[in-house]
Every structure is written in structure tokens, then in C-alpha cells.
Amino acid sequence: MYTIYVYVLDTLADWEIGCVTAELHSGRFFKKDAPRLSLKTVSDSKLPILTMGGLTIMPDCSIDDMVISETSVLVLPGADTWNDPKHGAIIEKAGEFLSLGATVCAICGATTALASFGLLDHRPHTSNGPGFLEMFSPSYKGQSFYIDRPSVADNNLITASSTGALPWAKQIIEHLGVFEANTLEAWYEYFRTGEPERFFALMQTLPHSRDH
């Protein structure tokens, strides 16, 4: 079973994790033999956090409660508060995840935190455009590994820009193997284009649509 830890912090950018958390939690488009998932929110304390959208989240667990294995996934959303030193603990944990073969998924501001700890110096990655990481992470040395795309997957590290939430979600879902390949492609095309016919194409890929 996969355990998905979503790190929550004040000013969390709600929309950046919306697609991936909704699909992984609901399982509405999962294939028949998809691995089971458990989704938990984690924070530096048990205190409630307030998202950028004004929603209050009560963390399910603290950083010390996390269990790391190859089936653990850490999701790091963007936020305006990543420069607070208290978040160093989760980035240290992200380093442990990567070393142990567990998966780390970071988007927008979270990539600057990874960069500051040297976790992007030797692996393909992306962020909010060339120069962004140097601006916010002076110790960053991974320029030669930077790829200017909305989302970049490098084995167990998946990074994205602030506008790359949808392709980031696609790469995370693909990495976990919970959708059939044709379902994932149809899902992505529907949400990318908004074309009604894409929705019907998506529904046709689901097991129940073939059983009737």
C-alpha cells in the first residue's frame, strides 16, 4: 500500500495539489487492480494551518510520525512561507525519502526549499522558470540539470512549476500506476482541453463502462 504524505503549511497554494489529491483520495478513475493508497496530511506541528484560499486544515500527523519506505510518497505544495526555517525538517526528510527510493513531488515554492538543501544539484528538475531558483535559493548549483518544462519526472523525484499542476498530477499518477494508461491519457486530455467529447472518451476507458 502507498502512503501519500501531503505536507501542509500556512499559505499553501490550494490549487496546486487539487488534481493529484482529489484523484488519489477518491480513486474514481483507478484501474481494477490498482494498489491501495492512504493519504495523510503532515505538518511541523499539530496546529491548524490556513491555506492561501482561506481554508483551515488540521494535520493528520507530525513529521516524526512519518514512516519511510519505497511505497511512501511526499507531496510538497507551493506556499509563500517556505523560507521559514521551521520547514527545514521536512526538507531533511525529503532527502531521506530520495535516498531510500521513496518518492518526492514538489511544485512551485517547494522546489526552492529543495534547491536550498542541494537536493536539485544533481538531478533533472524544473521550477518557475530559469533564474527563479537562483533568486530564492542562493546556494543552488543545479543549473545544468534544469529543464524548462511545466513538470519533470526523474525516477522518484517529480518537480513542477506553479502552472504545471495538471502535468505534475499526471506524472505522479503515472508513477504510482493507479490508472490504466489509456485512462490517464484521456483524463489528462479532458482536463487540459475541457472538450466534452474528451469526457466521454475518459468514461469509455473505465472498467464499469465496459461491463455494461
Catalytic-role residue among 19, 61, 105, 108: 108
Q: Check if 108 is active-site.
A: yes
113-116, long-range: CB within 8 Å, 24+ apart, which pairs?
Answer: 113/76, 113/82, 113/87, 113/137, 114/76, 114/159, 115/139, 115/140, 115/142, 116/91, 116/140
Q: Active-site residue numbers?
A: 108
